[in-house]
Structure 1
Amino acid sequence: MAQPQAHRQPPALVLGAVIAVAVVLFQALLVPLFVAPVAEPEPHDLPVIVAGPAPAASAFADQLTSARPGAFEITTVADAAAADEALRDREAYAAFVVGADGVALHTASGASPTVASLLTQATQQFSGGQPVQVTDVVPTDTNDPRGAGFSSGFLPLAMTSLAIGAVLALVLRKRGPRLLGLATYATLAGLVAAAVLQYWLGVIPGDYLMNAAAIGLFALAAAATVAGLGSLLGRAGVMLGALLVFLVANPLSAVGSAPELLPEPWGAVGQLLPVGAGATLLRSTAYFDGAGGGTAALILAAYALVGLALVAIRRGTRPERPTRASAPEAELVAA
């Protein structure tokens, strides 16, 4: 006599242990993902400028390269004015200006307060401990000198975008309402979040409409990605979207530091994900009149278009067919 089918299933005790082991292994991979970006950040090919007369600038550039191999990607320019123009165009994080009185540092803390602080300390070491004149060409907002408000503002944006994408994918069954929900959310999220960050909290400067457009594009990219994957794969797609949009993208985004301070190649990977690209674009609109944000905008647009396409071409779950009416009900309808 054949054994019952239930005996062929793994015991619940073993299955629970397997799930626990899998979660612990995932945790072991997840913890370094969050810790590595903030534990003793080291620059990798960090774009900087050395400005000054050719012999002195070249000598200082060689000194930087010898002292920190692989840390800097150095460009030399003729003078401080050219260096400041490059900083405003977001071509570098800082400029070492070599003059008769020594080395001065010009920073763009709007691009990264963390980098500005690290380079200030490094310049003091190169100057033998002597005071270094520091000029912040593109400073952070006076209400957010360390950039903490800027970086903290991205966490709720990512969470709400993840939530709305999941809800639209799992609750609404038709494509039209899903697409309308995404468009409405992105528009309102951009306008409201920019107003809160700029006028209420005062943590970002710049043109309000440009900031709203940057936030709206990020919100659309993140929400559409989750909704699109959810439309395609159901609950598994929503979970995949959560990993892509939030769980992995958040620690690799370098919102509070800079991509060049993360271990290679994770800084570059983070800029290919929605949170990293969104933070880069908003910094560009808030502090640099949009300079340096073109690639990030294209990445976000690609996520948004793919997500919207998946929502548009994938039919929602078909509604359940009504059960047949009982005999008395059928007679009542017939009457």
Structure 2
Amino acid sequence: MRDAVTTRSALVMLGVLLLQLGFALSYMGAFHAPEPHKVPITLVAPPAVEREMVARLDALPGDPLQVTPVADRAEARERLLDRRTDAALVVDPARRTDTLLVASAGGPSATTAATEILQEVARAQNRTIVVRDLRAPSAGDSRGLSSFYLVLSWTIGGYLAASALNMAAGSKKPTLRRTLVRLAAMLPYGFVSGIGGAIIVGPVLDCLPGAFWELVGIGTLVVFASGAVGVALQSVAGTVGLGLTILIFTILGNPSSGGVYPSSLLPPFWSAIGQALPPGAGTTVVRNTVYFDGNATTGALWILGAWAFGGVVVAILAAALREGRKRRGPRTDTAAAAAV
């Protein structure tokens, strides 16, 4: 019995249990009770009405909306398609009907939340709201989740590939040469993964049509970033490094990514970390590239690049330092023997 369950295997099982419980806590903590908080909306109203409307919306309990007044409908439309706002309310004081401009391709959850709040406010004033969707998801992406699931597959594929390379070598911490080979291998693997993902969501399922080569490039970057971090953490911490990678990308990164609920509907912790992690940055880049002509993607691309670069640097430094210690070890032993 003692041979069957060693201390090491018991510790591994404990680690898996902690990851399992962390998975349940993170996903249910993020999704169990979504509440709108400072959902960004734009307001177009005559000066005589604007101040009163802003005050009324800002005074709603729980601060569900963050209102930015603009001069006209054209500016509101521009902000919406540039991804600087989730909805734009155009008030017509001469009529009892106002217009709400939305772009549900940017995330139906935020659009729905803003619409429900504003319709409730309108009903209290005996007014109605007509909703006009300026950028709806494609027919094959009816719930707007394809970007999230595509990036999910890329991130998991990246760190599983890094883990497979590690297990193929006996789960030993790699030498500098092996580290360089593994990092180099992640580039063609990422490129093939990007092509495969773009084919599936494009020609095969028609979920995210268009922007084929842009998706290939994004997929290559996402997979390489995930794989480089996986190589780095396993180089530093061995088998534990895989658990840390799963913690970062899957347990923390996926529920906070904004794929299911945007940051304005998530609890503070998940809202704060979402766009700083690769799943959130990747989902933003894919969604905004496919539906919004690449608007508001620069910051997310920098985040992905930083994770990729950081993974490469940490992996190489860890392997180089380990080899340096090994070289100094025999020299130290020889010097000690000579002194004796």
From 145, 150, 154, give the equivalent of 1:153. 150
For structure 2, the 5+ residue unaligned runs are 324-340
Q: CA deviation at 1:222?
A: 1.1
Structure 2 equivalent of residue 238 of structure 1: 242
Asked if the contact 1:162–1:246 (Cα under 8 Å) also holds between the matched residues in 2, the reply is: no
1:227 and 2:222 correspond:
no
Structure 1 equivalent of residue 110 of structure 2: 115
Secondary structure at the aligned position of 2:129 is classed as coil
Who wins on radius of gyration, i.e. which is larger? 1
Cα distance in structure 1, aligned partners of 2:6 and 2:306: 45
Structure 2 equivalent of residue 126 of structure 1: 121
Structure 1 equivalent of residue 87 of structure 2: 94
TM-align CA RMSD: 2.9
For structure 1, the 5+ residue unaligned runs are 1-8, 319-335
1:54-73 to structure 2, matched below 5 A, reads 54-73=47-66
Once the two structures are superposed, residues 94-113 of structure 1 have per-residue CA deviations (whole angstroms, 9 ceiling, x without a partner) of 11111132321100111111
Q: CA deviation at 1:197?
A: 1.0
Asked if the contact 2:229–2:245 (Cα under 8 Å) also holds between the matched residues in 1, the reply is: yes
Secondary structure at the aligned position of 2:85 is classed as coil
From 195, 200, 215, give the equivalent of 2:199. 195
Asked if the contact 2:155–2:226 (Cα under 8 Å) also holds between the matched residues in 1, the reply is: yes
Q: CA deviation at 1:178?
A: 0.7
AA aligned opposite 1:214: I
Q: CA deviation at 1:182?
A: 0.8
Secondary structure at the aligned position of 1:47 is classed as strand
Q: CA deviation at 1:160?
A: 1.3
Q: CA deviation at 1:267?
A: 1.1
Structure 2 equivalent of residue 106 of structure 1: 101
Secondary structure at the aligned position of 2:316 is classed as helix
Q: CA deviation at 1:147?
A: 1.3
Q: CA deviation at 1:307?
A: 0.9
Structure 1 equivalent of residue 186 of structure 2: 182
TM-score, normalised via structure 2 length = 0.81
Tell me which protein shows more helix as a share of its residues. 2
From 156, 160, 163, give the equivalent of 2:160. 163
Worse-superposed segment, 14-23 or 179-188:
14-23
Q: CA deviation at 1:308?
A: 1.5
Structure 2 equivalent of residue 4 of structure 1: none
AA aligned opposite 1:296: A
| Residue identity (%) | 27
Asked if the contact 1:168–1:181 (Cα under 8 Å) also holds between the matched residues in 2, the reply is: no
Q: CA deviation at 1:32?
A: 3.2
Structure 2 equivalent of residue 82 of structure 1: 75
Cα distance in structure 1, aligned partners of 2:186 and 2:292: 29
Structure 1 equivalent of residue 26 of structure 2: 33
CA 1:191–1:136: 2 relative to 1, 3 Å: same
AA aligned opposite 1:165: A
From 138, 141, 144, give the equivalent of 1:141. 138
Asked if the contact 1:170–1:234 (Cα under 8 Å) also holds between the matched residues in 2, the reply is: no
